[in-house]
Structure formats: structure tokens, C-alpha cells
């Protein structure tokens, strides 16, 4: 905790950079939010992305993006909403992607309207806000309001820095990344709850120690568990990053960023705020109501008095 003040300043700087990028550059929203067309195309032979992109442009599709799906014969085609979409999009794409001596088949075509994408974006923001509010309520009931505010600030810190990284580096932000952000909110809260629970136990068990000493002891006792949990999840995220294909790539990137930021937030943001608000032993002492206090009965023995 002796590093909490300089690290708090560092966090404020990173949050300012992230928010500034989000407000100025915005997010590179995927087709899930902006609307458009996504199609999976399979070729009989290996093919170059530029050849498929040129064929689609020649057919009249605007700004197509072509990515490999595991092999050079399987591709994912993404395009923004077209000005004059054909009646049968699937058949039109199938006709456009045919190459000389290399026939193609279209496995799946998804068309998302711009209005649907806009609604998804607004509902996503609402889902994040509602989850933060409910988690704050839970922590306030389970522990203290000081802890609840610290936990929500910590979760906001994770969310802003993870989303801000996608804005700064212009990475695509779609529903899979949003799912990763929501997963990180739950994961980070669980890690924070473990730390809070140990702090509460140590405040009741250890006498004569300051609040900072209690927090340091609690963080040290939970550090091994935190490292092992993060390492386990990071191994899964790395496996998805390198072996999961394009569909899980950005989901894995968001998870890895959020794991680092979430662990840092649980240690320095959530507990640091509680100390800043004057966390003390009195916050964990249970005050017994007068109606539940035991009545003290004094027995006077008349024989003892006479003696």
C-alpha cells in the first residue's frame, strides 16, 4: 500500500488517455454494431486475400475486408452496409467470389441492419451500466459502502482501460469483445471479493495493527491464490489467441488485457479507495441492539450479608 498514491496517479493518467481516445477517435465498431454483411467462403484451392477482395470490388461491393479462417482456403468476408444491397445477398456473393480455376462455396451469410446494430450498441452500454449498479449493491450489502464504491471504481477502471486499448490501437470492437468485457467485470469482482473477505477477517482477528498493515497482510495472504488464478485463465486465453482462429482472436486479446488490469485494480484501486475513505476496525464491529443485550442479574445472598 505504500505505492498506492503514485500508482493511483498512473491510473488516472491512463484513464484520461483512454477516455480521450474514446471521445476523439471513437471505437472501430464491428458489423454487429454498425450493420453490414459477413460471409464465410470456402475455396477448393488456396487463394490470396487480395484476389477475393478485388473480385468483390469488381462486383460492386464497397470496402470488403477479407480474412483467413484457419487455412488459406477458408475465408471470412466482411463488408459495411451496402447502398443498394441485392435481393439475394448469398447468391450474389457466391457469384462474385468465383475465381478462375478455383470454385468457391458460401457456407453462411449474416446481414445486420444499421438500426439493429445501433440498438445492440445502446443495449450493450445499458448492460454494462446495470451490471455495475447491481454489483455495487451486492458489495454494499455484503461488506461496507466504502468497499462497494471502491469495487465499482475498480470495475470501471478495468472497463475503461480495456475498451480504451481497443480505441487507441484501432482494434475492431464487436460483440465478442463486449462479451469479454462483461466476463472481466465478473472475474475482477470475484477477485476483489476474495481480498475484501480476507481484510474483514484480519480486522477482526489481528489486534494493534493499522488499517494499511491489515490490508498489506491480507493482500500478501491472497497473492498466491491471485497469481495462480490469473495464470490459469491466461493460459486458456493464450490457447484461444493462437489456436481459436479469427473468431476468438480479439476476445482473447481483451481477456489478456483485462486480466492484467483487473488484478492491478483489485490490489491498488479497490482497496486503495477504501483506505482513502478511512477504513478502520469500527467498520467491521457488529453493534448489538439494546433489545438483544443480555440482562445482568445481581444476586444478593441475605445470609452472606448477615455473616
The DSSP code for 88 is S
For residue 72, CA distances in Å to 53, 76, 129, 145 come to 14, 11, 41, 55
> In this structure, what C-alpha cell is assigned to residue 163?
475498451
Any residues with CB less than 8 A from the CB of 72 and at least 6 apart, and which?
46, 47
Written as nine digits, the cell of 26 is 471513437
Percent of the chain with pLDDT over 90: 25
**Model confidence pLDDT, tens digit, residues 219-278:** 999 999 999 999 999 999 999 999 877 678 899 999 999 999 999 998 889 888 888 888
Q: What local confidence, expressed as pLDDT, does residue 191 receive?
A: 87
CA dist 6 and 11 (Å) reads 9
| Cα angle, residue 192 at apex, residues 13 and 223 outer, rounded to 5° | 95
So what's the pLDDT on residue 282? 77
| CB of 185 closer than 8 Å to CB of 266 | no
Asked whether the CA dihedral 208, 211, 213, 216 is positive or negative, the reply is positive
Q: What is the pTM of this model?
A: 0.75
Beta-bridge partners for 106 = 41
Does residue 24 have a pLDDT over 90?
yes
pLDDT digits (tens, 9 = 90+) for 67-124: 887 788 888 888 877 665 556 778 888 888 888 888 888 888 877 765 556 677 788 7
Confidence of residue 147 (pLDDT cuts 50, 70, 90): confident
**High-pLDDT (> 70) share of the chain, %:** 88
Amino acid at each position: 500500500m505504500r505505492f498506492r498514491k503514485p500508482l493511483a496517479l498512473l491510473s488516472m493518467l491512463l484513464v484520461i488517455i483512454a477516455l480521450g481516445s474514446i471521445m476523439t477517435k471513437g471505437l472501430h465498431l464491428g458489423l454487429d454494431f454498425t450493420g453490414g454483411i459477413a460471409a464465410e467462403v470456402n475455396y477448393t484451392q488456396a487463394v490470396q486475400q487480395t484476389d477475393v477482395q478485388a473480385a468483390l470490388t469488381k462486383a460492386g461491393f464497397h470496402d470488403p475486408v477479407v480474412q483467413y479462417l484457419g487455412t488459406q482456403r477458408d475465408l471470412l468476408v466482411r463488408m459495411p452496409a451496402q447502398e443498394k444491397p441485392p435481393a439475394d445477398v448469398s447468391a450474389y456473393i457466391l457469384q462474385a467470389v468465383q475465381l478462375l480455376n478455383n470454385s468457391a462455396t458460401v457456407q453462411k451469410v449474416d446481414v445486420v441492419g444499421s438500426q439493429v446494430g445501433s440498438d445492440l450498441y445502446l443495449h450493450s452500454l445499458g448492460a454494462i451500466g446495470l451490471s455495475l449498479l447491481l454489483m455495487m449493491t451486492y458489495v454494499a450489502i455484503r461488506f461496507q459502502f466504502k468497499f462497494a464504491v471502491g469495487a465499482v471504481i475498480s470495475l470501471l477502471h478495468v472497463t475503461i482501460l480495456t475498451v480504451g486499448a481497443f480505441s487507441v490501437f484501432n482494434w475492431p470492437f464487436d460483440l465478442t469483445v463486449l462479451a469479454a468485457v462483461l466476463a472481466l467485470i465478473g472475474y475482477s469482482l470475484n477477485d476483489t471479493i476474495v481480498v475484501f473477505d480476507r481484510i474483514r477477517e484480519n480486522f477482526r482477528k489481528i489486534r494493534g495493527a493499522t488499517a494499511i498493515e491489515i490490508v498489506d497482510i491480507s493482500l500478501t495472504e491472497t497473492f498466491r491464490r491471485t497469481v495462480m488464478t490469473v495464470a490459469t485463465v491466461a493460459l486458456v486465453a493464450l490457447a484461444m489467441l493462437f489456436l481459436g482462429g479469427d473468431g476468438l482472436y480479439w476476445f482473447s486479446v481483451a481477456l489478456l488485457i483485462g486480466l492484467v488490469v483487473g488484478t492491478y485494480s483489485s490490489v491498488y484501486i479497490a482497496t486503495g479507495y477504501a483506505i482513502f475513505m478511512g477504513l478502520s476496525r469500527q467498520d467491521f464491529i457488529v453493534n448489538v441492539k439494546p433489545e438483544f443485550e443480555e440482562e445482568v442479574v445481581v444476586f444478593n445472598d441475605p445470609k452472606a450479608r448477615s455473616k
